[in-house]
Amino acid sequence: MVRKIACAVVVVCASLAGLASPAQAQGPGVRAGVSVDPDQFYVGGHFETDELIDQLYLRPNLEVHGEWVRVPHSVTVVLSPDDTLTTRERPATSLVAGLRYLTDASTTFIIDYYRNGDGYTPDEMDVFFTLIDRGAEAWDSDGDDQWLRLAGRASAAAYGRMAPMQHYVYGRVSQPDALGVLYLSLGASAIVNVADGSVNLLPEVLYKPTANMELRWLGGIQYGVFHAEFGEKAADARFEIRARYYF
């Protein structure tokens, strides 16, 4: 059984529209609520400037968000040092907590911490990477694929999933209408594995020259030491160009 707890609090402008004149800035205030679906809690706020032009205001926003999940009996597949797949059952607590900030120039900054209660330790991942190394050597020497097949089963079971380890930090910055160009968006994300120090950088550029066309450039740059999560990816860098036309 999975039990989830969620609550929500948001800091917003407290002045009522009917009590403030159109040319006056609204002050800060508080409102509260509870969220069950999605299971999140968050707090945040914004402050509204004076009216710049008719009906135009700037509102920098700060939001604190999070999610907490507790699984009393979590079952995880584990690769033992003697090259056998076993299962481990234990309580697991996972959570996400972070900040989101929107500036008056519409630049968004996000930073999150993610704890994966079902995740593997660096030593457990090292057993998996060592098995892959041994399998590659056996395949190159005499075509024996038994270790690679075992590594494939371990990967499919859990080791190959997204964020398989326990502690991560995620950051992102994005800017619409960047460089003064309408419909040009620039962004960059970073995922850091706290335990092994490896990093995945994800820059992107999005441009919509027309209402029904989208051009996107995506990058992925992985860095990490030997047997670190992002250091063991198949490619150190990859880049994509996509074009989408709506009709």
Cβ atoms within 10 A of the Cβ of 242, count? Answer: 10
Q: Distance (Å, rounded) from C-alpha 144 to C-alpha 118?
A: 32
pLDDT score of 183: 94
Residue 70, token pair as written in the block: 């507790």
Asked whether the beta carbons of 73 and 92 are under 8 A apart, the reply is no
pLDDT of residue 48: 56
Q: Which residues of the chain carry a pLDDT beneath 70?
A: 1-60
Helices assigned H by DSSP within the chain: 122-142, 146-154
**pLDDT computed for residue 7 by the predictor:** 34
CA 60 to CA 188: how far, in whole Å? 20
pLDDT of residue 28: 53
pLDDT given for residue 54 in this prediction: 64
